[in-house]
Amino acid sequence: MKKLTPKQEGFCKSYVETGNASEAYRLNYSASKMSDAVLNNEASKLVNHHGITMRLEQIKQAHSERHNITVDGITAMYKEVIANATASTQFGPAVSAITGLAKLHGLLTDKVEVTDNSIADRLAAARKLRNAANQTKARQETPFKPL
């Protein structure tokens, strides 16, 4: 396969990300002065280009593999870690994997400490500052009355 130009490679990556050939063309080529019809035609030509079609398939495959992480897959990995750690009497990693598995399935949650610096407290402090600033501004805008 002939090597693609940097613009063609960029078009391929943008096309896989956006799913829109015209948008991918716009992002990688000078298209500001093109009409929509011309832009769509040029994008279509690129999508049908043999080298680009091949590269799109490669990127889509890698993209699919990268995003094929599921709860079931992670569960299987945790179970394998638990089995291997238990078999080799390494109970620390087994406990860590059990904890991770329980968190994954929502059986354990981390405690969150609520401090005095909560959002409500910060909002109240901000309102107090705003009111004080408004009062100062009002005093400054009051005309001076001579005696």
* Concatenated DSSP letters of 65-90: HHT---HHHHHHHHHHHHHHHHHTT-
Longest dimension (CA), the chain: 95
Highest mean pLDDT among 10-14, 102-106, 138-142: 10-14
Top pLDDT among 116 and 32 is at 32
The DSSP string of 108-133 is --------TT-HHHHHHHHHHHHHHH
Q: What is the pLDDT of residue 55?
A: 94
> What whole-number distance in Å separates Cα of residue 130 and Cα of residue 141?
16
Please write the tens of the pLDDT for every residue from 78-99.
Answer: 999 999 999 999 999 999 999 9
Q: Mapped to the 3 state alphabet, what secondary structure does 4-46 carry?
A: CCHHHHHHHHHHHHHCCHHHHHHHHCCCCCCCHHHHHHHHHHH
Q: Which of 33, 31, 30, 25 is nearest to 8 (CA)?
A: 25
The answer to whether the CB of 28 falls within 8 A of the CB of 10 is yes
pLDDT exceeds 80 at position 33: yes
Give the pLDDT score at 116: 59
pLDDT-based confidence at residue 109 (cuts at 50, 70, 90): confident
Which range has the top average pLDDT, 48-52, 101-105, 120-124? 48-52
pLDDT at residue 138 tops 80: no
